[in-house]
Amino acid sequence: MNAIRAIGFDLFNTLITVEPQTLEDANKRLFSSLSGSGFELDADSFRKAHRAAAIRHIDQGRRDGRETHNRFWIRDALEEQGCRVSPDDARIGAAVEAYFSAFLEHCRLLPGTAEMLTVLRSFYRLGLLTNFTHGPAAREILSHMSLDPFFQVVVISGEFGYRKPDPRPFDELVKHLGVESRQVLFVGDDPEPDILGAGRAGLNPVWSTYVRDQQIPFAAGVLYPEHMDPEPGVPRISSWDDLFPLLGLPEKP
């Protein structure tokens, strides 16, 4: 690891976690916003249509690497309920903001994260790469958690247009870090987008299993299969103290 000049991090379940009730709360806020905007909807029917739309768009994104956005999920779900509306309609925009307000309230920083980043930024350029469909909400979360000052670059799939494991977001991260791919360590928890994606893009992946090992409950999404493991040989860390020796740093620099 002596050639490493920069470190990239995933966000969710790597640096922060989201409480289990988040998606339920977010969906309630979404439905309440739409109902308040005049849409006459059946809650259960809309919820099922919204989830089905999300799965369709995300599956397409897995095939072509392109990021989707929640406004299209909502548009499709509304059309399923007989409401034809543009995804750019202001009422959908308000519903998106209502949905993501739940994430801001339910995010929690993993123990020792701020201290770890404080140490590493003295030695390395630091970057963040996250799959998150709505860029403004992701940036608000980073600000709320006081994480944004640590990073020289933040790449959010909803802003960039492509999502991990596609190589293009990793290439964008590397470009703005100002180093070569082989000089970047990428730390993430999700084997397919983070570990497989980083490796294919030429970065050095490190699998973070703190949330898994500590059995921390979190809001599970519909994006990737659970309980998948990376290929053998990928370094694994279960605490931030495990990261320092990989980098040739003492455990408590």
Instruction: For residue 186, give the CATH number of its domain.
Output: 3.40.50.1000
pLDDT single digits (tens) 164-190: 999 999 999 999 999 999 999 999 999
The answer to whether residue 241 sits within a structural domain is: yes
Q: Which two tokens stand for residue 175?
A: 């470009």
The mean pLDDT of 124-137, rounded to a whole number, is 96
Let me know if residue 14 belongs to a domain.
Answer: yes
Which residue has tokens 């308000």?
Answer: 94
Instruction: Indicate if 119 and 217 belong to the same structural domain.
Output: yes
Q: Is the pLDDT of residue 163 over 70?
A: yes
**CA atoms lying within 13 Å on the CB side of residue 44:** 0
Checking if the pLDDT of 204 tops 70, the result is yes
Residues 145 and 200 grouped into a single domain: yes
Q: Which of 58, 73, 105 is the last residue of a domain?
A: 105
Is the residue at 153 inside a domain? yes
Structural domains in the chain (count): 2
What integer pLDDT is reported at residue 217 of this predicted model? Answer: 74
pTM of the predicted structure, to 2 decimals? 0.93
The helix/strand/coil state of 37 is coil
Question: Which domain covers residue 87, as residue numbers?
Answer: 22-105
Q: Which residues pair with 156 in a beta bridge?
A: 130
Which residues lie closer than 8 Å to 64 by C-beta, 6 or more apart?
A: none
Kindly indicate the confidence band of residue 250, based on its pLDDT and cuts at 50, 70 and 90.
confident
Look at residue 251 and tell me if it is in a domain. no
Same domain, yes or no, for 145 and 185?
yes
Same domain, 93 and 209: no
Q: Say if residue 70 is in the same domain as residue 175.
A: no
239-245: average pLDDT: 94
Last residue of a domain, one of 83, 105, 127: 105
Query: 64 and 116 share a domain?
Result: no
- In a domain, residue 253? The reply is no
Task: Indicate if 140 and 233 belong to the same structural domain.
Answer: yes
pLDDT at 2 over 80: no
Same domain, 152 and 207: yes
Q: Are residues 183 and 80 in the same domain?
A: no
Say how many CA atoms lie within 13 Å of 141 toward its Cβ.
27
97 and 114 share one domain? no
- My answer on whether 226 and 167 are in the same domain is yes
Q: Look at residues 72, 105, 138 and tell me which one is the last residue of a structural domain.
A: 105
Q: Which of 169, 145, 146 is closest to 158 using CA atoms? A: 169
One domain, residues 121 and 219: yes
Structure token digits, residue 223:
């994006």
Give pLDDT, residue 224.
47
Cα distances (angstroms) measured from residue 136 to each of 65, 97, 153, 204:
21, 9, 15, 29
Distances in Å between the Cα of 38 and the Cα atoms of 33, 41, 70, 91, 98 are 9, 9, 19, 9, 15
Task: Give domain status of residue 96, yes or no.
Answer: yes
Q: Answer whether residue 226 shows pLDDT above 80.
A: no
Q: How far is CA 199 from CA 112, 145, 167, in A?
A: 26, 28, 9
